[in-house]
Amino acid sequence: MSDLAHVMPGPSPQIILKQVVKNFGATRVIDHLDLSIPAGQKVALIGPSGSGKSTVLRLIKGLEAYQNGSIEVAGAPVPAKAGGWHWPGVKKPPVVHRVGMVFQQFNLFPHLTVQQNVTEAPLQVLKLSREEALERAHQYLGLVGLNHKADAYPAQLSGGQQQRVAIARALAMRPQVMLFDEVTSALDPELVGEVLAVIRAIAHEQQMTMLLVTHEMKFAQDIADRVLFMEAGRIVADGSPNQVLVDPDNERTRRFLNLVEQR
Amino acid sequence: MNFDYAFAWSIVPDLFQGLLVTLQVVILGFLLAVLLGLLLAIAQRSKNPLVQKLSAGYLSFFRHTPLMVQLYVLFFALPLAGLTLPAISTGVIGLGLYYAAYIAEAFRGAIEGVPAGQWEAARALDFDSATTWRRIVLPQALKPMLPVLGNYLIGMFKETPVLAVITIPELFQAAKQIAGMTYRYNEPYTVMALMFLAISVPTSLLFKYFERRSHV
Ligand SMILES: Nc1ncnc2c1ncn2[C@@H]1O[C@H](COP(=O)(O)OP(=O)(O)OP(=O)(O)O)[C@@H](O)[C@H]1O
Ligand SMILES: [Mg+2]
């Protein structure tokens, strides 16, 4: 077993959404969504703009409040009221670091070096020692092929390199679930490949559960065990890449795929 | 008009005493203003509406009354309420409270300039809010703040003559006294001006240097 495979897949589903409703003001964005993802599964989430893909990821990460239903990740409930304010000194509910997330816009910390970007959360959140944190940085920067940029600042990197650092930064927390939200959409076309290659490698090497929002259909077909098609806050198609992408029996999915292909 | 170098030289020690008082009040007042300004700016972003309102009320009050009036109130009105402070402490508190309102406003702008994605990334890594402020948001807000803080520090320094109204023997007061006793004006005011310059210019350069050095 490689030392990267730190999480054993469990028998029960790792992500469970039950009848989840999310409104932004008067707009219903997620509409009684049910979803269950077993540990280790690689799931691609596709669908038209505004259908709620990012919102599903943000709900799973606990970044959004929701109005109905329940969400559970790795056996722990994700509270319906996101974040919240605490008096200083008041004990917060124990945070369990199960979910990592990578954003379209990288969101690296610009005032920190590449290495510090990766060590910051292990040091501050997991309270690892300096040596342990540096070891992790070395391990995951190595995985994304950027150990030689450890001392650079984000502004000195290409978009593709920045996104790879963001992936290393998320992995350094050793999450059981990784969420990728259109992580190649902000990149110049020639830089997309290197980022997809890294994600592909992680998908093959690690027993981590992965949920990816992507417009790269070929890529989804390659790495995903399962494809979900979302529309207007609901999952309207759910199956193997072949069922959903190659031979969709759903008319709307077919139309969407035709549109994507024409771009 | 003549300028007597020997006389100018002889009054340097007295003026230097005044400068030390000025520096003491400014440095302590500035520290108070930065700390309080920061707290006020953070309070403005609080999810607790009461905390937000209190902070906004503070800013409004201190920005809409003259510093001299505030100093008067602190120095002459507080003792009536049974609270007597030495003049220098009153000066520090007066300058600190007043400038905190302006520095808070500047901090607020700088904090709003930190992209929302930075907060999101911190939350995605499970940072708590104190760590997010300390390690992610404030270091990034500080860079645009540096020149602003430098300006306020120098501005405070230049405004210290107002402290004379509460009997603090600062630099301007010392120069005025020498002039009043000797009827010589050129030397005390020239030496005073040079002392002001000798502090302001290096301070300004120092802040420029800090700004250039910080990465963001
Ligand atoms: N903070 C917000 N406030 C109000 N409405 C929002 C907010 N965030 C998202 N929405 C709305 O929720 C709906 C779903 O948004 P979401 O970002 O989840 O879509 P998406 O499927 O990720 O789209 P895209 O492919 O464009 O990224 C959209 O109609 C969007 O306008
Ligand atoms: Mg989206």
Q: What is the pLDDT of residues A154-186, one digit of tens each?
A: 999 999 999 999 999 999 999 999 999 999 888
Q: Give the pLDDT band (50/70/90) at residue A119.
A: very high
Q: Phi and psi for A57 in degrees, rounded to 5?
A: -65, -45
The 8 Å CB, 24+ separation contacts for A87-94 are A88/B130, A92/B128
- The three-class DSSP label of residue A139 is helix
* pLDDT computed for residue A218 by the predictor: 87
Residue type, B177: Q
How far is A199 from A138, CA to CA, in rounded Å? Answer: 18
Look up residue B28 and give its two tokens: 């302590």
Answer yes or no: do A110 and B140 touch at CB < 8 A: yes
pLDDT beyond 60 at B63: yes
pLDDT beyond 80 at A35: yes
- Across the range A15-23, mean pLDDT stands at 94
* pLDDT computed for residue B169 by the predictor: 86
Q: How far is A221 from chain B (nearest CA, A)?
A: 27
Q: Give the pLDDT band (50/70/90) at residue A253.
A: confident
pLDDT beyond 80 at A11: no
* A33: enclosing H helix or E strand: strand A27-38
Q: What is the CATH number of domain A12-74+190-196+212-262?
A: 3.40.50.300
Instruction: Look at A6-20, A132-146, A237-251, B41-55 and tell me which has the smallest mean pLDDT.
Output: A6-20
Q: What is the pLDDT of residues B89-143, one digit of tens each?
A: 999 999 999 999 999 999 999 999 999 999 999 999 999 889 999 999 999 998 8
Q: Which of B123, B136, B143 sits opposite A109 (nearest CB)?
A: B136
User: If you average pLDDT over every residue of chain B, what do you get?
Assistant: 90
* pLDDT computed for residue A132 by the predictor: 96
Domain B15-213, CATH homologous superfamily name and number: MetI-like (1.10.3720.10)
A29 Cβ closer than 6 Å to some ligand 1 atom: yes
The percent of residues in chain B predicted with pLDDT above 90, rounded, is 49
Å from CA of B15 to ligand 2 middle: 65
Å from CA of B70 to ligand 1 middle: 50
Q: How far is A213 from chain B (nearest CA, A)?
A: 16
**Nearest residue to A76 (alpha-carbon basis) of A89, A55, A94, A58:** A94
**Nearest residue to A102 (alpha-carbon basis) of A165, A179, A16:** A179
How far is A256 from B2, CA to CA, in rounded Å? Answer: 89
User: If you average pLDDT over every residue of chain A, what do you get?
Assistant: 87
Task: Give chain B positions within 8 Å (CB) of A100.
Answer: 124-125
- The three-class DSSP label of residue A72 is strand
Segments in chain A forming alpha helices (H)? 53-61, 114-124, 130-143, 159-171, 189-205, 217-223, 241, 251-262
pLDDT beyond 60 at B168: yes
Q: What is the pLDDT of residues A137-159, one digit of tens each?
A: 999 999 999 999 999 999 999 99
Look up residue B54 and give its two tokens: 């209190």
Q: What is the pLDDT of residues A70-115, one digit of tens each?
A: 999 988 888 888 655 445 555 555 556 789 999 999 999 999 999 9
**Nearest residue to B148 (alpha-carbon basis) of B99, B194, B193, B202:** B99
- The three-class DSSP label of residue A150 is coil
A55 Cβ closer than 6 Å to some ligand 1 atom: yes
* pLDDT computed for residue A6 by the predictor: 47
- The three-class DSSP label of residue A177 is strand
Residue A95: Cβ within 10 Å count = 12
- Cβ pairs bridging A and B (under 8 Å): 64
Residue boundaries of the structural domains of chain B: 15-213
Answer yes or no: do A95 and B126 touch at CB < 8 A: yes
* pLDDT computed for residue A259 by the predictor: 72
Task: Give chain B positions within 8 Å (CB) of A111.
Answer: 139-140, 143, 214-216
Å from CA of A182 to ligand 2 middle: 7
* B146: enclosing H helix or E strand: helix B138-158
pTM: 0.84
* pLDDT computed for residue A95 by the predictor: 58
